[in-house]
Amino acid sequence: MKILTTGSHGLLGTNILPVLERSFTVIPYDIEEWDITDRDAGERTIRDIRPDVILNLAAYTNVDECEDCLSLADRVNAEAPGIIAKLCSDHNIKFVHISTDYVFDGEKETPYREDDETNPTSVYGLSKLSGEKKVLANCPDATIIRTQWLYGHGGINFITKITKIAREQGVAEVVNDQRGCPTYAKDIADPILLLIEKNRSGIYHVANAGSCTWFDFAREIFSCLHIDVVLKPITSEQLNRKANRPRNSVFDCSRLFRDTGHRMRTWQDALHDYLS
């Protein structure tokens, strides 16, 4: 089977492609080969490559920047996935698209299920929700994987940022009023493979098991790495970022288990694996 991936040089692509390559012939495209907002480029790419599956990892992911760039967020995160979905439907290609916990407002007290009401509170979340809707309208057999709080090899992420601050300043202030599940990007690969293999469609929540706040996550990171640091809890209000983030975005991943038999490992096990 041939799988064409978009946005392949990003965080998720960097971490899952080596795993996907064990089961698929992977064609790893990024914006240089295929700007997903370009419909003609999409047509050409599909004609040239003739993939069995397209996995859309491309997105405009700078959540704060999106607040000032509505139109770009809409083009990349909503319009483009809709275009790819239509192409997949026309050419009988399986489409797998990635979405986010930011489609929820975070007001629910318990873990979010796939059919819970969405209500994004940021431009990024709105654009990603619009993308989900366009994908399913144009390609009802598509699979949408919502994930959250990703970290992994390559580039900058929460772990690299917070350890740099701790080592340089000896003190780190971390938000303690947002709860979610940190997820090792590599751990998304097996669910993708299984969902394709079992020909599942619709929306799936995929994240490492358990939950914590960013503060708890930082504490675990420093403990694993034996970094001596003064860790201070702060509120989202104190951090004062441009875009709003959900206070609770913990996922219920039982649909994934029901339909594939795959259980995600805990965020602590995944973190220890990553740091080792």
Residues designated as active site? 124
Q: Is residue 12 within the footprint of ligand NAP (CB under 6 A)?
A: yes
Contact 46, 89 (CB under 8 A): no
Q: Which residues contact 236 (CB under 8 A, 6 or more apart)?
A: 175, 177, 178, 245, 247
Instruction: Give the x/- contact pattern for ligand NAP in 36-75, rule: CB under 6 A.
Output: xx-------------------xxxxx--------------
Q: Which residue in this structure is represented by tokens 């041939």?
A: 2
Smallest gap, in angstroms, from Cβ of residue 230 to ligand NAP? 26
Which helix (H) or strand (E) segment holds residue 74: the answer is helix 70-74
Separation between Cα atoms, residue 5 and residue 84, nearest integer Å: 12
**6 vs 248 by CB, closer to ligand NAP:** 6
Q: Is residue 7 within the footprint of ligand NAP (CB under 6 A)?
A: yes
**16 vs 166 by CB, closer to ligand NAP:** 16
Sign, CA dihedral 76-9-182-256, equals positive
Beta pairing, strands 2-6 & 143-147: unpaired
Smallest gap, in angstroms, from Cβ of residue 117 to ligand NAP? 19
Q: Is residue 100 within the footprint of ligand NAP (CB under 6 A)?
A: yes
Q: Is residue 103 within the footprint of ligand NAP (CB under 6 A)?
A: no
Q: Is residue 149 within the footprint of ligand NAP (CB under 6 A)?
A: yes
Give me the phi and psi of 209, to 5 degrees please: -80, 155
Beta bridge partners of 180: 212
Instruction: Give the x/- contact pattern for ligand NAP in 202-231, rule: CB under 6 A.
Output: ------------------------------
Range in contact with ligand NAP (rule: CB under 6 A) among 141-149, 208-216, 245-253, 254-262: 141-149
Smallest gap, in angstroms, from Cβ of residue 148 to ligand NAP? 5
**143 vs 229 by CB, closer to ligand NAP:** 143
**94 vs 97 by CB, closer to ligand NAP:** 97
Q: Which residues contact 100 (CB under 8 A, 6 or more apart)?
A: 124, 125, 128, 146, 147, 148
Q: How many CB atoms lie within 10 A of CB 219?
A: 18
The shares of helix, strand and coil residues in the chain, as percent rounded to the nearest 5, are: 45, 20, 35
Range in contact with ligand NAP (rule: CB under 6 A) among 5-13, 44-52, 217-225, 255-263: 5-13
Interaction site with ligand NAP (CB under 6 A): 6-7, 9-13, 30-31, 35-37, 57-61, 76, 98, 100, 128, 147-150
